[in-house]
Structure 1
Amino acid sequence: MSKLLGYIFTVVFYFTFGLSLVIFQPIQWICYKFFGYSAHKWSVDILNFFLTYSQFTLLNGISFKNNQQLPTDRPIIFVANHQSMYDIPSLIWFLRKHHPKFISKIELTKGIPSISFNLKYGGGANIDRKDSKQSIGEIIKLGRRMNEKNWSTVIFAEGTRAKDGKMKPFQVGGIATLLKIVPTAIIVPVAIENSWKIVRNGSYPLNTLLPLKWTVLAPIERGDKNPEELVLQAENAIKQQIGQ
């Protein structure tokens, strides 16, 4: 039934999702060029509200649980598993008060309405995976912005999407680099469930009637733990939440 409905509703979803990207491209440009960071961030937040709830056109449910009392006066490194591109809008919308930034492939800064503009001017790190020196430099710059502005960063620590929903081992590199620059940051795991099922059949048809879930888990203070221990603790917390 889910796949059958997907043949009907996927077209509606792509129209809604794509229209949001096209409409907010000039809105972002105006906000950034004439009113600065705060206005641009507002436009990005509202865009991701629409991108998040466009899942309703697929009859998919959205559940974002955050029962944690997270600080807004210190940097946060959100560490999440990664299942599909549809993980991202909800993280931006529901964590908006923490100014979440992303580490993205530099190729994504061109050619995608709204998304490329935000990646280019939103304050995240755009890395060239073929150039380790450039990648580290971008992450260091992001860490400095986190220190200066109390921003947060979301890191998909698997390094790639888990297309079957099974978590891959978390990588330490990017998190370790950030912790050197932002030693006061706390680690906050975020467990993502069922988003991989949206694209289980590929880009068409998308799946419907899915309970999409994001759960913010208990913060992990650095203390005397090294980056490897922190990342493993976050990985295990997410595995426990999603039952792996």
Structure 2
Amino acid sequence: MRKLFGYILSPVHYLAFGLILVIFHPVQWICFNAFGYRAHKWVIDVMNSLLTASYYLLGNTVKFTNHQNLPVGRPIIFIANHQSLYDIPVLIWFLRKYHAKFISKIELTKGIPSVSYNLRHGGAANIDRKDPRQSIMEIGKLGTRMKENKWGAVIFPEGTRSKDGMVKTFQAAGVATLLKKCPEALLVPIAIDNSWKMVRYGQFPLNTFIAMSWEVLTPVEPAGKPVDESVSACETAIKQALGQ
């Protein structure tokens, strides 16, 4: 039944999602070039709130829980499991006061309205997975920007999306590179649940009436600990929160 509704509601969702991206592309350009970073970021925040709202056109719901007293003005590395591309607008919107930036594939910096422009100008690290040296340098530059601007960053240490919701083993290399440039950063795990179900049939039809959740967990202070140990602690916390 959900799949049947997906055939009906997916075009409505995609129409809304696409229109949001197209409309906000020139708005981004104007705000960035005329008013700078803050105006551009405000536009990005609004855009991602609307992208998140478009999930409801499928009957899906978003629950973001944050009971942690996270510091503002200190760099934060948000470490999350990754289930679908639909994880990202939710994180951008709800983590907006932390200026959370993403590590993205360089291929996404071209050809996608709004998304590509933001990746090029919003402070993300755009990496070429075929070029390890370039990837390390880009992540290092993001770490420097975090240190200088007190920004946050979101990293998915699994390296790829989970198609069944099961958390894959976390890799510590990206976090280690960020911490090398920004050693004062705090690690904050986020458990994402059920967003994989939205795309369980692929891009069409999208699944419907799914209750999706994002939960901010207890921070991990990395100072004085091996990076592998800190990342492993985040992985364990996320698996426990998801009952894995």
Tell me the TM-score normalised to structure 1 length: 0.99
Counterpart in the other structure of 1:72? 72
Residue identity matched to 2:62: I
DSSP-derived class of the 2:86 partner: helix
Counterpart in the other structure of 1:16? 16
**Residue 12 of structure 1: how far off its partner (Å):** 0.4
Counterpart in the other structure of 1:179? 179
**Residue 199 of structure 1: how far off its partner (Å):** 0.7
Counterpart in the other structure of 1:54? 54
Cα distance in structure 1, aligned partners of 2:166 and 2:74: 32
Counterpart in the other structure of 1:31? 31
The two structures, once aligned, show a CA RMSD in angstroms of 0.6
DSSP-derived class of the 1:32 partner: helix
Matched, 1:95 2:95: yes
What pairs with 1:137-152 in structure 2 (closer than 5 Å)? 137-152=137-152
Percent identity reads 61
Cα distance in structure 2, aligned partners of 1:232 and 1:59: 35
Which 4+ runs in 1 deviate beyond 4 A?
A: none
Segments of 5+ residues of structure 1 without an aligned counterpart are: none
Counterpart in the other structure of 2:238? 238
**Residue 68 of structure 1: how far off its partner (Å):** 0.6
Tell me the TM-score normalised to structure 2 length: 0.99
Matched, 1:111 2:117: no
Counterpart in the other structure of 2:155? 155
The one-character-per-residue Cα deviations of 1:94-131 (angstroms, maximum 9, x if unpaired) are: 00000000010111000000000000000010011111
Counterpart in the other structure of 2:207? 207
Segments of 5+ residues of structure 2 without an aligned counterpart are: none
Equivalent pair of 2:183/2:223 in contact (CA under 8 Å): no
The one-character-per-residue Cα deviations of 1:61-106 (angstroms, maximum 9, x if unpaired) are: 1100011111111100000000000000000000000000001011
Counterpart in the other structure of 1:227? 227
**Residue 223 of structure 1: how far off its partner (Å):** 3.2
Cα distance in structure 2, aligned partners of 1:173 and 1:221: 17
Count of paired positions = 244
